[in-house]
Every structure is written in structure tokens, then in C-alpha cells.
Structure 1
Amino acid sequence: MDLGLGNRTFVVTGASSGVGLATASALLAEGAHVAACARDADRLDAALAGVPRADGALLYTAACDVLDSDAVATFIEGATHALGGVDGVVNNAGRSLLARLADTSDEQWRDELDLKVFSVLHTVRAALPWLRRSDSPAVVNINAILAKQPETELAATSAARAALLNLSSTLATEYAPDGIRVNSVCLGLIDTGQWRLRYEQSGSPLSWQEWSAELARDRGIPLGRLGTAEEVAHPVLMLLSPRASYITGTSVDVGGGIARYV
């Protein structure tokens, strides 16, 4: 099926690795134009240097701190100058704070809430005039299943993720009259750099495959493994596509079946 993404322009934040990189790569393969940002410009350019592109697909990259509203506005301005507009935004910049309630400082709470909420607000606000000009505008916020079933070891991150899920619903309602669709993709355990780092820091004698399979069993993932960044990118592209024109205000879980909530 042709997703209708060719010659459309999409902003992807946090695009130097993991889900952001996989999403930017998949969009370029579909013939879309991509404006990608990350804090480290050299790492971003190196990550995207060898990515295959369909004929005509254009790429614009820039360093950008999504917590700096002026920097985000400058990034969007540069992207629209280079690529002609914005049809969709993928808000992917983020991280997890592994800390229980008693071990989380007030500053860490504020940092988590700032990153999860303001990174999205800054980017959507800057792109909004261009999204309103598109004939099929869409926003996809990369979130986590933690937003629906918090974990005590990720106290601040769980709460911040829930705030983002709530905000995404508000954005969907607020911008529906403009035809702008806003949806969330909520992740379970995905094989990204964060989990690889935790594996290396664990000092485990197990191989990565054994360690990650044991982790999946411990977390009760029915499919018995971690997901891949590419397995996240495909649902993101579907939600960005004009083919999903009647889907807004919802969330899609990509977590191998892990869901204790009803």
C-alpha cells in the first residue's frame, strides 16, 4: 500500500539514534522529505549519512535543544526554508530516569516534566502555522506504556509520561478544527541504546540475547523479546499517513503485548 508520504515534509526530533533514527530512515525510504534534529549535530549527520533515500527525498539536519523554544523556532524556520513546509511532526526526544520516588530530587522531577511536556509544546507551536497549511497534517508523540501503567523504579518518568499522554489528548481536541491529527505511540521495552547501556553496566555473564530474553520474561512480555526501533517506526508512519485521516486522539501500544491495564 502506498502510504501517500512521498513529497511530504516531516519533522523528527531526537533523530540521531533509536526510534527517531528509524523513523527518519523509514520516511526517507518512502520518498518523504525529513527535517531531523538532535542535540549533537555531528552524531546526527553521521547516523543519517548512509541512510537510503527514495528518489527525490530531501534531508535537512540541524542541532537543536528541544527545551529551548528559540532554538526550536530557528530549526523549524530553517527546515521550512529548505524543504518548503511541514506536513507532520514526530516528537521523539526523550529519555528515562531510573529512580524510585525516594531517590528522585525535585530538580529531577522538574527536568522530567520539562522534557516530556515542553519538548512537545515547543515543537508543535513552532510548526503550527505550517501544519495548518497542509492538506493532511499530523503529529505523533512518542510516549511509553508507562503512561498507563507506572513503574515504581521509574517514578518521575512514569508521571511525566502520563502528563504527555493527557496533553496529547488535549492537543488532538484543540487542533481538530484545523484538521491536525494528534496521536501517540506508546512503547514497551525497545532494543535501543539505553537498554544496551544497562546491559553493559550490569556486568552480567549472559549474552545480550540471553539477558534481554530474561528481561522480557521478568517483565511479562507475551512475545518474549524486546521490540526493535524499526517495529516502532512502521506504526508511526501509518499514523502520519493520509490513510489514517480519521484517526486522532488515540494511542497505539508497541510493547509485545505487555499491558496490565484494561
Structure 2
Amino acid sequence: MDLQLTDRTVVVTGASSGVGLATTRMLLAEGARIAACARDLDRLRAAIETIDGVDPDKVHLRACDVTDRDEVESFIGSTMQRFAGIEGLVCNAGRSLMSSLSETTDEQIRAEFDLKIFGSWNLVRAARRPLAAADCGAVVNVNAILSRQPEPRLAVTSAARAALLNLTHSMAEDLAADGTRVNSVLLGLVDTGQWRRRFETSGTALDYDAWSAQIAADSGIALGRFGTAEEVAFHIVTLLSPLSGYTTGTSIDVGGGVGRYI
């Protein structure tokens, strides 16, 4: 199926690994132009080099801290200079803070909300005009099922993700007047570098597959495994497509059945 993404410019944040890199790879395969950023430019360049057959004329890479409004404005400005338009945003920069509420410092709380809220809002307001000028502008906020189903071990991350989900709905209403759609993809447990690092420091005698399967079972994941970055990227790319032109203000769970809310 042709998703009608050829030569459409999509901005992807947090593109050096995991879901961001998988989304970038999939968009390039669909013929899109990519403006990708991460905090570590060398790591981002090395990651993009792992993608086969990349046309350098279709890729723009920058270091950017998405919580810094000036850096974001500069990144979007350079993207406009390079490609003269922006049709899509993937707000993917994020992390999870494994900490109970009583163990979390005020600085960590502020940092979580800063990243989750401004990691999206800085990009959206910087790119609002070019998105409005596109024939079918689209924003996808990469969020988590934690936004609707909080976990005590991820108390502040859950709260910050709930705030982002609420903000996404507000942005969808606000940007509808521009013809720009705003949606969310809600992740469950996805096999990314964060989980690999937790495995390496866990002290378990199990191999990674057995260890992750045990966590999946303990977490109540119906499919009994972690998801893959590619399985998440598919839904992101689909929401960016003009074929999803009547979808806004909604969210898609990609959690293997872990969601217990109605």
C-alpha cells in the first residue's frame, strides 16, 4: 500500500535509537524526507548510517535538546531552509524514571514534566506555520499506556505522561483550525535500549529472552512478550499518512494487551 509519504518532510525527535530510529527507517523506506534530532549528534549520525540505502539529500540531522525552546526553533528553522516545508512531526524524545513517589526528588519531578510537556509543545509551536501550510499536516506524540494506567514504580513518569495525553487532546482541538491532526501512540513494554540496560544491571541468571518474558508475565501482557520498536513505528507512520486524514485527537495502544482500562 502506498501511504502517500513520498517527498513529505517529517521531523523525528529522539531518533538515535529505539522507536525514533525505527520510525526514521520506516519513513525513509516510504520515500519521506527526514529531519532527525537527538542530544548526541555523533550517536545520531552513527545510527542513521546503519540504515541501508539512505539518500543524503533526504536527511537532515541536528543535535537538539527538545526542552530548550531556542534550540528547537533553530532546528525547525534549519529544516525549513533545507526542505522548505514540514508535513509531519514525531515527538518521541523521552525516558522513564523508575522511582516511587517518595523516592523522587523535586528536581526529577520537574525534569520529567519538562521533557514530556515541552518535548512536544516546543516542536509543535515552532512548526505550526509550516504544518498549517501542508495539505495534511500531522503530529504524533509518542506516549505510554502509563498515561491512563499509572504504576507505583513509575509514579512521576505516569503523571507526566497523563499530562501529555491531556495536552495532546487540547492541541488536536487547537490545531484543527489549521487542518493539522494531532494523535498519540501509547506504548506498553517495548524492547529498547532502556530494557537492555536494566537487564544488564539486574543480576539475573536468566538470559534476556527468559528475563523479559518473566517481566511480561508479571506485568499482565496478554501476548506474553515485549513489543518491538518496529511494531510501534508502524502505527506512527500510519498516523502520519494522508490516508489517516480524518483521524485526530485519538490514541492507539501498542501494548500487547497490557491495558486494563476500559
TM class, shorter-chain normalised? over 0.9
State the match for 1:28 in structure 2: 28
CA distance in 2, matches of 1:255, 1:78: 35
Task: Return the TM-score normalized by structure 2.
Answer: 0.98
2:119 alignment counterpart: 119
- 5+ residue gaps in structure 2? none
Q: Which amino acid aligns with 1:83?
A: F
Number of residue pairs aligned between Structure 1 and Structure 2: 262
Matched, 1:132 2:132: yes
CA distance in structure 2 between the partners assigned to 1:204 and 1:123 by the alignment: 40
Q: Secondary structure at the match of 1:182?
A: strand
Cα offset, 1:79, TM superposition: 1.0
TM-score by length of 1: 0.98
Q: Which residue of 2 aligns with 1:217?
A: 217
Deviates more, 1:47-56 or 1:168-177: 47-56
CA distance in 1, matches of 2:72, 2:118: 11
Q: Which amino acid aligns with 2:99?
A: A
The one-letter amino acid of 1:98's match is: M
Between 1:8-17 and 1:52-61, the stretch displaced more is 52-61
Aligned to 2:153: 153
CA distance in structure 1 between the partners assigned to 2:85 and 2:2 by the alignment: 21
Secondary structure class of the residue paired with 2:134:
coil
Cα deviation, residue 217, structure 1: 0.5
Q: Which residues in structure 2 correspond to 1:33-112 (within 5 Å)?
A: 33-53=33-53, 58-112=58-112
Does residue 1:252 correspond to 2:261, yes or no? Answer: no
- Would the aligned equivalents of 1:4 and 1:242 in 2 still touch at CA under 8 Å? yes
Conserved in 2, the CA contact under 8 Å of 1:7 and 1:56? no
Equivalent residue number for residue 16 of structure 1: 16
Aligned equivalent of 1:164: 164
Task: Quote the RMSD (CA, aligned, Å).
Answer: 1.1
Whole-angstrom CA distance in 2 between matches of 1:212 and 1:53: 33
User: What is the rounded CA distance, in whole Å, between the counterparts of 2:109 and 2:55 in structure 1?
Assistant: 45
Q: Equivalent residue for 1:6?
A: 6
| Separation (CA, whole Å) in 2 of partners of 1:151 and 1:53 | 41
Match of 1:231? 231
Q: Deviations over 1:17-50 (max 9, x none)?
A: 0000000110001000000000000000000013
8 Å CA contact 1:32–1:58 kept in 2: the answer is yes
Aligned to 1:180: 180
Q: For the residues of structure 2 that align with 1:232 and 1:50, how far apart are their CA atoms?
A: 19
> In 2, are the aligned partners of 1:31 and 1:57 still within 8 Å (CA)?
no
Indicate the SS of the match to 2:257: coil
Amino acid at match of 1:243: L
2:57 and 2:247 mapped to 1: Cα distance?
26
Give the whole-Å Cα distance in 2 for the aligned partners of 1:117 and 1:157.
11
Aligned equivalents of 2:238, 2:182: Cα separation in 1: 13
Percent identical among aligned pairs is 58
In the TM superposition, what is the alpha-carbon distance from 1:52 to its structure 2 partner? Answer: 2.8
Partner secondary structure for residue 202 of structure 1:
coil
CA distance in 1, matches of 2:34, 2:165: 25
Are the structure 2 counterparts of residues 197 and 188 from structure 1 closer, same or farther at C-alpha, using a change threshold of 3 Å? Answer: same
Query: Secondary structure of the residue that 2:133 maps to in structure 1?
Result: coil
Whether contact under 8 Å (1:188, 1:254) holds in the other structure is yes
